[in-house]
Amino acid sequence: MGALQEFAVKEAVLPPGLTALLDCEDVDTLPDAPTDSDEPQAIAGFMCVIEYADKDGAVTERLITCRRYLTIGGNASVGAICGNSRRYKLFRCDRIMEVCDAETGASLGDGSYFERFTVSAAKPLADMWDTTSPRKSLIVAGLNVLAFMARCDGQWHPLETQTIEDFICSLWLRKEWEGSPPLDRIVAHARRLAPDGEVFESAIRQYAHSSTSRAVLTQYVQRVIAADGVICEDEHRWAACYAECMEEAVAAEAEARRGKQSVVSRV
Protein backbone atom coordinates (compact mmCIF):
# COMPACT_ATOMS: atom_id res chain seq x y z
CA MET A 1 0.00 0.00 0.00
CA GLY A 2 1.49 3.38 -1.04
CA ALA A 3 1.73 6.42 1.17
CA LEU A 4 -1.36 8.10 -0.25
CA GLN A 5 -3.56 5.01 0.12
CA GLU A 6 -2.38 4.53 3.69
CA PHE A 7 -3.15 8.14 4.57
CA ALA A 8 -6.67 7.72 3.25
CA VAL A 9 -7.52 5.01 5.77
CA LYS A 10 -5.67 6.44 8.78
CA GLU A 11 -8.01 7.38 11.62
CA ALA A 12 -7.68 10.68 13.47
CA VAL A 13 -4.79 10.57 15.93
CA LEU A 14 -5.93 11.41 19.44
CA PRO A 15 -4.06 11.79 22.75
CA PRO A 16 -3.88 8.65 24.93
CA GLY A 17 -7.22 7.63 26.50
CA LEU A 18 -7.88 8.71 30.05
CA THR A 19 -8.23 5.89 32.58
CA ALA A 20 -11.50 7.41 33.76
CA LEU A 21 -13.13 7.13 30.33
CA LEU A 22 -16.00 4.64 30.36
CA ASP A 23 -18.02 2.87 27.67
CA CYS A 24 -19.61 5.34 25.23
CA GLU A 25 -22.39 3.10 23.90
CA ASP A 26 -25.06 5.07 25.77
CA VAL A 27 -24.24 8.26 23.86
CA ASP A 28 -26.61 9.28 21.07
CA THR A 29 -25.08 8.56 17.66
CA LEU A 30 -26.00 10.47 14.51
CA PRO A 31 -27.36 8.35 11.64
CA ASP A 32 -24.64 9.78 9.41
CA ALA A 33 -21.30 11.23 10.46
CA PRO A 34 -20.22 14.42 8.65
CA THR A 35 -18.68 13.79 5.27
CA ASP A 36 -15.59 15.33 3.72
CA SER A 37 -17.87 17.63 1.71
CA ASP A 38 -19.34 19.23 4.85
CA GLU A 39 -18.23 22.81 5.45
CA PRO A 40 -15.75 22.75 8.37
CA GLN A 41 -16.82 24.72 11.43
CA ALA A 42 -14.77 26.72 13.91
CA ILE A 43 -15.28 23.97 16.47
CA ALA A 44 -13.59 21.35 14.27
CA GLY A 45 -10.48 19.93 15.97
CA PHE A 46 -11.27 21.41 19.41
CA MET A 47 -10.35 18.84 22.09
CA CYS A 48 -11.75 18.85 25.61
CA VAL A 49 -12.85 16.64 28.48
CA ILE A 50 -16.55 16.64 29.35
CA GLU A 51 -18.64 15.32 32.21
CA TYR A 52 -21.68 13.86 30.47
CA ALA A 53 -24.96 12.63 31.96
CA ASP A 54 -26.80 9.99 29.97
CA LYS A 55 -30.59 9.71 29.76
CA ASP A 56 -30.60 7.70 33.01
CA GLY A 57 -28.54 10.33 34.85
CA ALA A 58 -25.29 8.34 35.00
CA VAL A 59 -22.32 10.71 34.73
CA THR A 60 -19.09 9.75 32.97
CA GLU A 61 -15.97 11.63 31.91
CA ARG A 62 -15.03 11.61 28.25
CA LEU A 63 -12.22 12.96 26.10
CA ILE A 64 -13.67 14.22 22.81
CA THR A 65 -12.41 15.82 19.61
CA CYS A 66 -15.18 18.07 18.31
CA ARG A 67 -16.29 18.12 14.69
CA ARG A 68 -19.38 20.33 14.60
CA TYR A 69 -22.02 22.18 16.64
CA LEU A 70 -25.62 21.66 15.56
CA THR A 71 -29.23 21.64 16.71
CA ILE A 72 -31.44 18.56 16.37
CA GLY A 73 -35.05 18.56 17.54
CA GLY A 74 -34.49 21.84 19.34
CA ASN A 75 -31.53 20.46 21.31
CA ALA A 76 -28.07 22.00 20.88
CA SER A 77 -25.53 19.22 20.43
CA VAL A 78 -21.85 18.63 19.75
CA GLY A 79 -20.80 16.05 17.17
CA ALA A 80 -17.42 14.66 18.18
CA ILE A 81 -15.07 11.70 18.03
CA CYS A 82 -15.14 9.92 21.39
CA GLY A 83 -11.63 9.15 22.65
CA ASN A 84 -12.62 5.74 23.94
CA SER A 85 -14.63 4.23 21.09
CA ARG A 86 -12.97 6.40 18.37
CA ARG A 87 -16.43 6.68 16.82
CA TYR A 88 -18.33 9.80 15.80
CA LYS A 89 -21.02 10.48 18.41
CA LEU A 90 -23.55 13.14 19.34
CA PHE A 91 -23.48 14.81 22.78
CA ARG A 92 -26.45 16.93 23.87
CA CYS A 93 -25.22 20.19 25.40
CA ASP A 94 -27.91 20.18 28.11
CA ARG A 95 -26.41 16.92 29.39
CA ILE A 96 -22.84 18.24 29.48
CA MET A 97 -22.27 19.16 33.12
CA GLU A 98 -18.72 20.49 32.73
CA VAL A 99 -16.21 21.21 29.96
CA CYS A 100 -12.47 21.17 30.77
CA ASP A 101 -9.41 22.06 28.73
CA ALA A 102 -7.84 18.80 27.50
CA GLU A 103 -4.30 19.98 28.19
CA THR A 104 -4.53 21.96 31.44
CA GLY A 105 -7.67 20.53 33.02
CA ALA A 106 -9.01 24.05 33.58
CA SER A 107 -12.82 24.27 33.74
CA LEU A 108 -14.40 26.14 30.83
CA GLY A 109 -18.03 25.97 32.02
CA ASP A 110 -20.97 23.69 31.30
CA GLY A 111 -22.54 22.67 27.98
CA SER A 112 -23.47 26.27 27.20
CA TYR A 113 -19.74 26.86 26.54
CA PHE A 114 -20.25 25.44 23.04
CA GLU A 115 -22.75 28.18 22.09
CA ARG A 116 -19.81 30.29 20.95
CA PHE A 117 -19.37 27.86 18.07
CA THR A 118 -22.83 28.32 16.60
CA VAL A 119 -22.65 29.03 12.87
CA SER A 120 -24.91 32.08 13.18
CA ALA A 121 -22.87 33.66 15.97
CA ALA A 122 -20.88 36.79 15.21
CA LYS A 123 -17.33 35.74 14.40
CA PRO A 124 -14.33 37.79 15.54
CA LEU A 125 -11.69 38.68 13.00
CA ALA A 126 -9.22 35.86 12.49
CA ASP A 127 -5.88 36.20 14.26
CA MET A 128 -3.38 36.59 11.42
CA TRP A 129 -0.39 36.11 13.78
CA ASP A 130 1.07 39.47 12.71
CA THR A 131 1.71 38.26 9.18
CA THR A 132 -0.08 37.71 5.85
CA SER A 133 -2.69 35.11 4.96
CA PRO A 134 -0.40 33.04 2.66
CA ARG A 135 2.30 32.98 5.33
CA LYS A 136 -0.15 31.94 8.02
CA SER A 137 -1.42 29.18 5.73
CA LEU A 138 2.13 27.85 5.37
CA ILE A 139 2.67 27.96 9.15
CA VAL A 140 -0.60 26.14 9.82
CA ALA A 141 0.34 23.42 7.32
CA GLY A 142 3.65 22.93 9.09
CA LEU A 143 1.93 22.82 12.47
CA ASN A 144 -0.45 20.12 11.20
CA VAL A 145 2.47 17.98 10.06
CA LEU A 146 4.34 18.39 13.35
CA ALA A 147 1.22 17.97 15.49
CA PHE A 148 0.48 14.71 13.67
CA MET A 149 4.00 13.45 14.34
CA ALA A 150 3.81 14.58 17.97
CA ARG A 151 0.54 12.70 18.51
CA CYS A 152 1.17 9.58 16.43
CA ASP A 153 2.71 7.75 19.40
CA GLY A 154 -0.25 8.66 21.62
CA GLN A 155 1.68 11.24 23.66
CA TRP A 156 2.58 14.92 23.38
CA HIS A 157 5.86 15.47 25.21
CA PRO A 158 6.79 18.97 26.52
CA LEU A 159 10.01 18.77 24.52
CA GLU A 160 7.92 18.32 21.37
CA THR A 161 6.20 21.62 22.17
CA GLN A 162 9.60 23.29 22.46
CA THR A 163 10.61 21.80 19.11
CA ILE A 164 7.48 23.21 17.49
CA GLU A 165 8.33 26.64 18.92
CA ASP A 166 11.80 26.31 17.39
CA PHE A 167 10.22 25.37 14.05
CA ILE A 168 8.11 28.53 14.03
CA CYS A 169 11.14 30.72 14.75
CA SER A 170 13.32 28.91 12.22
CA LEU A 171 10.73 29.15 9.43
CA TRP A 172 10.16 32.83 10.20
CA LEU A 173 13.89 33.55 10.01
CA ARG A 174 14.66 31.42 6.95
CA LYS A 175 11.80 33.03 5.03
CA GLU A 176 13.05 36.45 6.18
CA TRP A 177 9.64 37.60 7.34
CA GLU A 178 9.51 40.94 9.11
CA GLY A 179 8.82 41.23 12.84
CA SER A 180 8.74 38.40 15.36
CA PRO A 181 6.29 35.47 15.55
CA PRO A 182 3.67 35.59 18.36
CA LEU A 183 4.80 32.23 19.73
CA ASP A 184 2.25 31.94 22.53
CA ARG A 185 -0.71 32.32 20.15
CA ILE A 186 0.72 30.07 17.45
CA VAL A 187 1.72 27.30 19.87
CA ALA A 188 -1.71 27.49 21.55
CA HIS A 189 -3.24 26.86 18.12
CA ALA A 190 -0.86 23.95 17.49
CA ARG A 191 -1.85 22.26 20.76
CA ARG A 192 -5.50 22.26 19.67
CA LEU A 193 -4.76 20.44 16.43
CA ALA A 194 -5.66 16.77 15.98
CA PRO A 195 -4.97 16.18 12.26
CA ASP A 196 -5.80 12.89 10.60
CA GLY A 197 -3.87 11.25 7.77
CA GLU A 198 -5.66 13.20 5.06
CA VAL A 199 -4.84 16.56 6.67
CA PHE A 200 -1.25 15.36 7.21
CA GLU A 201 -0.86 14.53 3.51
CA SER A 202 -2.45 17.80 2.34
CA ALA A 203 -0.20 19.82 4.65
CA ILE A 204 2.93 18.10 3.32
CA ARG A 205 1.98 19.05 -0.25
CA GLN A 206 2.01 22.75 0.68
CA TYR A 207 5.75 22.44 1.37
CA ALA A 208 6.60 20.96 -2.03
CA HIS A 209 6.65 24.42 -3.63
CA SER A 210 9.71 25.78 -1.79
CA SER A 211 13.03 24.07 -1.12
CA THR A 212 13.67 26.43 1.83
CA SER A 213 10.35 25.69 3.53
CA ARG A 214 10.71 21.98 2.78
CA ALA A 215 14.18 21.81 4.34
CA VAL A 216 12.97 23.51 7.52
CA LEU A 217 9.94 21.25 7.89
CA THR A 218 11.90 18.05 7.25
CA GLN A 219 14.47 19.05 9.84
CA TYR A 220 11.82 19.62 12.48
CA VAL A 221 9.86 16.46 11.67
CA GLN A 222 13.04 14.59 12.58
CA ARG A 223 13.51 16.70 15.71
CA VAL A 224 9.93 16.11 16.91
CA ILE A 225 10.44 12.36 16.52
CA ALA A 226 13.66 12.47 18.54
CA ALA A 227 12.47 15.03 21.11
CA ASP A 228 11.47 12.60 23.88
CA GLY A 229 14.50 10.35 23.36
CA VAL A 230 12.40 7.37 22.23
CA ILE A 231 11.53 6.47 18.64
CA CYS A 232 8.58 4.09 18.57
CA GLU A 233 7.30 1.97 15.68
CA ASP A 234 4.49 4.40 14.80
CA GLU A 235 6.92 7.33 14.63
CA HIS A 236 9.27 5.36 12.41
CA ARG A 237 6.43 4.32 10.11
CA TRP A 238 4.95 7.80 9.76
CA ALA A 239 8.38 9.34 9.24
CA ALA A 240 8.79 7.00 6.25
CA CYS A 241 5.32 7.99 5.01
CA TYR A 242 6.26 11.66 5.36
CA ALA A 243 9.38 11.16 3.26
CA GLU A 244 7.50 9.20 0.58
CA CYS A 245 4.65 11.70 0.39
CA MET A 246 7.04 14.66 0.22
CA GLU A 247 9.00 12.96 -2.57
CA GLU A 248 5.80 12.34 -4.54
CA ALA A 249 4.63 15.94 -3.99
CA VAL A 250 7.97 17.38 -5.14
CA ALA A 251 7.94 15.15 -8.23
CA ALA A 252 4.40 16.25 -9.07
CA GLU A 253 5.37 19.88 -8.61
CA ALA A 254 8.38 19.47 -10.92
CA GLU A 255 6.24 17.73 -13.55
CA ALA A 256 3.70 20.55 -13.41
CA ARG A 257 6.45 23.12 -13.93
CA ARG A 258 7.85 21.20 -16.91
CA GLY A 259 4.38 21.10 -18.41
CA LYS A 260 4.00 24.85 -18.09
CA GLN A 261 7.41 25.46 -19.64
CA SER A 262 6.56 23.15 -22.55
CA VAL A 263 3.37 25.09 -23.24
CA VAL A 264 5.23 28.42 -23.14
CA SER A 265 7.94 27.15 -25.50
CA ARG A 266 5.35 26.11 -28.08
CA VAL A 267 3.62 29.49 -28.05
Say if residues 207 and 245 touch (Cβ distance below 8 Å). Answer: no
pLDDT in the model for residue 75: 86
pLDDT in the model for residue 122: 46
Torsion angle defined by CA atoms of residues 181, 200, 101 and 14, in that order, rounded to the nearest 10 degrees? -150
- Looking at 86, 117, 148, the residue that finishes a domain is 117
92 shares a domain with 151: no
221 shares a domain with 179: yes
3-state secondary structure the chain: CCHHHHHHHCCCCCCCCCCCECCCCCCCCCCCCCCCCCCCCCCCCCEEEEEEECCCCCEEEEEEEEEEEEEECCEEEEEEEECCCCCEEEEEHHHEEEEEECCCCCEEECHHHHHHHCCCCCCCCCCCCCCCHHHHHHHHHHHHHHHHHHHCCCCCCHHHHHHHHHHHHHHHHHCCCCCCCCHHHHHHHHHCCCCCHHHHHHHHHCCCCCHHHHHHHHHHHHHHHHCCCCCCHHHHHHHHHHHHHHHHHHHHHHHHHHHHHHHHHHC
Q: Which amino acid is at 221?
A: V
pLDDT in the model for residue 242: 95
CB contact set of 142 (below 8 Å; sequence gap of 6+): 167, 171, 203, 207, 213, 216, 217, 220
pLDDT in the model for residue 138: 95
161 shares a domain with 113: no
Model's pTM, two decimal places?
Answer: 0.58
Per-residue confidence of the chain (267 residues) as pLDDT tens digits? Answer: 444 444 444 444 444 433 333 333 344 444 444 444 445 577 888 899 999 998 888 889 999 999 888 888 788 999 999 887 778 889 999 999 999 988 888 899 999 999 888 765 444 567 899 999 999 999 999 999 999 999 888 888 889 999 999 999 999 999 999 999 999 999 988 988 888 888 899 999 999 989 999 999 999 999 999 998 888 898 999 999 999 999 999 998 888 878 777 655 665
Look at the chain and report how many structural domains it folds into.
2
Please check whether residue 227 lies inside any domain of the structure: yes
105 shares a domain with 147: no
Q: Which domain holds residue 72?
A: 17-117
142 shares a domain with 51: no
158 shares a domain with 88: no
251 shares a domain with 162: yes
pLDDT in the model for residue 155: 81
pLDDT in the model for residue 124: 56
241 shares a domain with 165: yes
Alpha-carbon distance 224 to 249, whole Å? 22
165 shares a domain with 81: no
Please check whether residue 22 lies inside any domain of the structure: yes
pLDDT in the model for residue 16: 40
Please check whether residue 256 lies inside any domain of the structure: yes
